[in-house]
Amino acid sequence: MSSNTILSQALVESGRDIPLNELLFAKRVLDNYLSIAQQNSPIELIAEIKDAALAVEYFKAQETPCEARNVISEMFAQIQSVESFEDYHALAGKPRQALHELVEDRANLIKHERGLLLAAGYDIS
């Protein structure tokens, strides 16, 4: 595991149960607000950021069998404590990185599975 990873290998494997569309949606929400949440942005944007984090329904869960989902849900919950754009950048960076790790893992799995199907003679075009 490299030094800039958030999730352990066990959590990454646990995260394979999370639907890909949920991973991508949650990451897109964080990415969008990270790109516009600047020091010169209107302070009202903080309330919108908090609402957007709450709108990511899938990661509002607590105590699910999927440990990665629980961990990322807790990261999303922490966003409710932000008081400044600096806070948001600090807090949103962790779930963003964790989601990125899960998406990368899923992409690698898909590549591997496609290779297996091709090798077995299946047309996947």
In a domain, 2, yes or no: no
d(CA 13, CA 39): 37
Domain that holds residue 73: 9-120
> Number of structural domains, the chain?
1
Task: Tokens 């990511």: give the residue.
Answer: 56
Task: Give me the pLDDT at residue 124, please.
Answer: 82
Is pTM beyond 0.75? Reply is yes
In a domain, 46, yes or no: yes
In a domain, 71, yes or no: yes
HSE (side-chain half, CA atoms, 13 Å) at 96: 16
Of 56, 32, 57, 58, which Cα lies nearest the Cα of 45? 32
In a domain, 3, yes or no: no
In a domain, 34, yes or no: yes
Task: Give me the pLDDT at residue 81, please.
Answer: 94
In a domain, 100, yes or no: yes
Q: Is the pLDDT of residue 3 over 60?
A: no
Task: Give me the pLDDT at residue 82, please.
Answer: 93
In a domain, 115, yes or no: yes
